[in-house]
């Protein structure tokens, strides 16, 4: 981590400065939206129409670009450990803005590939990786609650961007929509990240969770929580069974959610439901998921994380089964509600499991690898759905096959309690 000798916060507050960090982290997750599938999915049918490409070709370009972005993302975690979150957040914000301008000028499949690659690397990958390594630096006991507040940015993004994209594209075209998001990122997010972000509490004279209150009877303040936490290196974490089981669990939501979100307009269209209903489902998922994150944050601060993770995957099973029968507006609403509930669980659990299991010191490298696997998982989802659509004219069969993944992940989650540091370090 980069060091900063200043102990003065850039903004003086009557409360713990870590909550300002959480707000900026939430803004980062919000502006990851242009690189997320819930936003990109609104553009796909317009691409197919304007460029006269097949659905499987666009799915293949998207999956290939996402896969390459996933492999490149591993280095982002190492760069976060080396240069710190503040520097990387500003740099990535600028890079994502330039990537969005690139997408506004697409001319063919090669430009489309690089456009998808950049928004997946800097948007879906880096703009969520960095805040998920920043907030755990500032909170330990209240980590679940802090991540729940940060998740507001993600749910606001997934709720607002699909209908906003639909409106902007219908009003001014998809090229203008990309340009608007690139401009907002550059003039809003980048300055906020530069001014307000600090990498660790000690840089503003604080400790995680806030300055300890004096204990009764004089004596020392409450113990320094930084000393009590055990931190694993990436190599040490990889020696545990839990690391690999949880890593597989990370793949499943990325694969399933990306596949469904990417093809949501087409899936609903086959059931006689228009683009507006598809956008409504994505928005409803975000609205429902938002309050669920606070429930999840409460639960993960009090119960073992792997049990909450298992509940998430059993929810995925029911969500996929409901999708098979969604052919009316009210079933689409029910699907959006259930999907939102599951999404609210997974956002918090998959963010908190890594710092809770393996500490904060090497979190960039550990989370970077997990984020790499997540992006690779998201790359593997859309293409099979596109192939099945072109081959069989629908999605029923591929949805049934997909159910096997959350079933497996639920079993692995139940088998992955937090590893004991002493068992691997004497």
Q: What is the pLDDT of residue 313?
A: 93
Whether residue 274 is predicted with pLDDT greater than 90 in this model: the reply is: no
Fold match, 17-204 / 234-421: yes
What does the pLDDT look like over 405-422, one tens digit per residue? 999 999 999 999 988 888
In 3D space, the residue among 118, 300, 268, 142 whose CA is nearest the CA of residue 208 turns out to be: 142
- Specify the higher pLDDT residue, 62 or 100: 100
Half-sphere exposure of 396 (CA within 13 A, CB side): 8
What does the pLDDT look like over 18-51, one tens digit per residue? 999 999 999 999 999 999 888 898 898 889 888 8
Whether residue 281 is predicted with pLDDT greater than 90 in this model: the reply is: no
Lowest model confidence (mean pLDDT) among 220-229, 267-276, 360-369:
220-229
Give the integer Cα–Cα distance in Å for 395 and 268: 11
Domains in the chain: boundaries: 17-204, 234-421
Give the fold, CATH level 3, of 234-421: Growth Hormone; Chain: A; (1.20.1250)
- Specify the higher pLDDT residue, 5 or 229: 229
Burial of residue 13 (number of CB atoms within 10 Å: 0-12, 13-18, 19+): exposed
Residue 425's pLDDT band, with cuts at 50, 70 and 90, is confident
Whether the CB-CB separation of 145 and 96 falls below 8 Å is answered with no
Whether the CB-CB separation of 29 and 127 falls below 8 Å is answered with yes
Q: Percentage of the chain surpassing pLDDT 70?
A: 94
Residue 219's pLDDT band, with cuts at 50, 70 and 90, is very low
Residue with tokens 């009090």: 302
Whether the CB-CB separation of 158 and 33 falls below 8 Å is answered with yes
CA distances to 6, 9, 107, 198, 226 from 202, rounded to whole Å, are 9, 10, 49, 9, 10
Q: Can you tell me the mean pLDDT for 239-244?
A: 92
Residue 6's pLDDT band, with cuts at 50, 70 and 90, is low
Per CATH, the homologous superfamily of domain 17-204 is: MFS general substrate transporter like domains (1.20.1250.20)
**HEC states along the chain?**
CCCCCCCCCCCCCCCCCHHHHHHHHHHHHHHCHHHCHHHHHHHHHHHHHHHCCCHHHHHHHHHHHHHHHHHHHHHHHHHHHHHCHHHHHHHHHHHHHHHHHHHCCCCCHHHHHHHHHHHHHHHHHHHHHHHHHHHHHHCCCCHHHHHHHHHHHHHHHHHHHHHHHHHHHHHHCHHHHHHHHHHHHHHHHHHHHHHHCCCCHHHHCCCCCCCCCCCCCCCCCCCCHHHHCCCCCHHHHCCCHHHHHHHHHHHHHHHHHHHHHHCHHHHHHHCCCCHHHHHHHHHHHHHHHHHHHHHHHHHHCCCCHHHHHHHHHHHHHHHHHHHHCCCCHHHHHHHHHHHHHHHHHHHHHHHHHHHHHHCCCCHHHHHHHHHHHHHHHHHHCHHHHHHHHHHHCCCHHHHHHHCHHHHHHHHHHHCCCCCCHHHHHC
Q: Can you tell me the mean pLDDT for 62-78?
A: 85
Whether residue 351 is predicted with pLDDT greater than 90 in this model: the reply is: no
Mean pLDDT of the chain: 85
Q: What is the pLDDT of residue 319?
A: 92
- Specify the higher pLDDT residue, 217 or 137: 137
Q: What is the pLDDT of residue 115?
A: 95
What does the pLDDT look like over 367-386, one tens digit per residue? 888 878 887 887 788 778 88
Q: Percentage of the chain surpassing pLDDT 90?
A: 34
């Amino acid at each position: 981590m980069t060091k900063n000798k200043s102990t003065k916060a850039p903004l003086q507050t009557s409360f713990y400065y870590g909550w300002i960090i959480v707000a900026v982290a939430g803004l980062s997750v919000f502006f990851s939206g242009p690189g997320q599938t819930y936003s990109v999915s609104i553009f796909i049918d317009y691409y197919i129409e304007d460029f006269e490409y097949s659905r499987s070709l666009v799915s293949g370009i998207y999956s290939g670009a996402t896969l390459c972005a996933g492999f490149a993302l591993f280095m982002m975690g190492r760069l976060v450990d080396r240069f710190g979150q503040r520097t990387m957040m500003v740099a990535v914000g600028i890079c994502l803005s330039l990537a969005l301008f690139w997408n506004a000028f697409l001319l063919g499949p090669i430009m489309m590939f690089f456009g998808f690659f950049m928004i997946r690397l800097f948007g879906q990958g880096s703009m969520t990786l960095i805040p998920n390594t920043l907030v755990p630096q500032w909170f330990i006991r209240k980590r679940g609650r802090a991540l729940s507040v940060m998740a507001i940015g993600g749910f606001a993004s997934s709720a607002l961007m699909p209908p906003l994209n639909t409106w902007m594209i219908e009003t001014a075209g998809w090229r203008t929509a990309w340009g608007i998001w690139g401009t907002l990122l550059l003039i809003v997010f980048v300055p906020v990240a530069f001014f307000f972000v600090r990498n660790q509490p000690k840089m503003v004279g604080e400790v995680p969770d806030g300055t300890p209150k004096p204990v009764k009877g004089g004596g020392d303040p409450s113990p320094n929580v930084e000393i009590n936490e055990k931190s694993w290196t990436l190599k040490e974490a990889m020696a545990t069974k839990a690391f690999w089981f949880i890593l597989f669990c990370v793949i499943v939501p990325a694969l399933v959610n990306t596949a469904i979100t990417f093809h949501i307009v087409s899936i609903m269209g086959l059931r006689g439901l228009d683009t507006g209903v598809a956008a409504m489902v994505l928005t409803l998922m975000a609205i429902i998921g938002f309050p669920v994150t606070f429930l999840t944050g409460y639960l993960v601060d009090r119960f073992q994380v792997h049990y909450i993770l298992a509940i998430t995957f059993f929810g995925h099973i029911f969500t996929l089964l409901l999708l098979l029968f969604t052919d009316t507006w009210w079933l689409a609403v029910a699907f959006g509600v259930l999907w939102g509930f599951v999404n609210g669980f997974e956002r918090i659990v998959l963010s908190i499991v890594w710092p809770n299991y393996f500490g904060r010191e090497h979190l960039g490298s550990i989370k970077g690898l997990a984020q790499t696997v997540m992006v690779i998982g998201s790359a593997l989802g859309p293409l099979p759905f596109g192939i099945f659509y072109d081959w069989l004219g629908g999605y029923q069969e591929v949805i049934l096959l997909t159910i096997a993944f959350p079933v497996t992940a639920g079993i692995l989650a139940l088998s992955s309690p937090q590893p004991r540091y002493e068992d691997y370090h004497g």
